[in-house]
Structure 1
């Protein structure tokens, strides 16, 4: 970025967000830092503000086409799915325990966790599609 005072475009903000996502996948940022920085990236007005968000990260490395993740998912997305699955499993276990203890089974209240899973599934599909498009693979 040559001039720090030049206004940033949407493409500049998206590039900074992608670099931050790559930093999470590399283990350079945790999810809290990623969340904070991505929010700042999309609120940035100048290229200098974007440069400051990635200045402490290692050189921009591209994803290696030889070593894609097994499911094609970014590490952060795998972590979010894992967290959701653990919470869902605990909720189902509690529901089972409550239902067994009562004469009449309780309503399946863990179903309230399914809408967030649907949203997460849409985000996952978008991430897979973005990775496929970036790598030049076809459907």
Structure 2
């Protein structure tokens, strides 16, 4: 009996699905074709049907080890911190000017910007801890 005629197992279907997923990552398939072929893979009865789904794809490239996440903070978080710092600084300067212009110093109203800083600090700590764990630096 020829191998193409052998009934496919769930493991065979999963292997074909993984190859199709890698083909999308490599840019060999678009999402529409991936979706169509994935459906066909899980409906395939024989190994030959699975082989036909991946026959036009280049040979599987060896998996390169994933790079660890960068050690620093993500760029978006740095931008949010910078924006908060600028807004807070402007508020402190305006408060200072208002306080100097009046005979009696105004209440320090920029303190209203501190709760978002606490939330940002918590988000920063969680992300930093997660990145340290991903890089194997312990907890």
Superposed CA RMSD: 2.4
2:134 corresponds to: 134
Alpha carbons of 1:63 and 1:89: their partners in 2 closer, same or farther (altered >3 Å)? farther
TM-score, L = length of structure 1: 0.51
**Unmatched 5+ stretches in structure 1:** 4-47, 49-60
Residue 118 (1) aligns with residue 124 (2): no
Residue 3 (structure 2) aligns with: none
Q: Which runs of 5+ in 2 are unaligned?
A: 1-13, 19-34, 36-64
Distance 2:107 2:67 in 1: 46
Q: Relative to structure 1, is the Cα distance of residues 75 and 127 closer, same or farther in structure 2, using a 3 angstrom cutoff?
A: same
CA deviation digits over 1:104-124, x for unaligned, max 9? Answer: 000000000000000000000
Aligned residues: 79
In structure 1, what is the Cα distance between the partners aligned to 2:66 and 2:93? 42
Greater Rg by CA: 2
Q: Hey, which bits of structure 1, 4+ residues long, moved more than 4 A?
A: 61-65
Correspondences of 1:1-139 after superposition (within 5 Å): 2=17, 62-63=66-67, 68=70, 72-139=72-139
TM-score, reference length from structure 2: 0.51
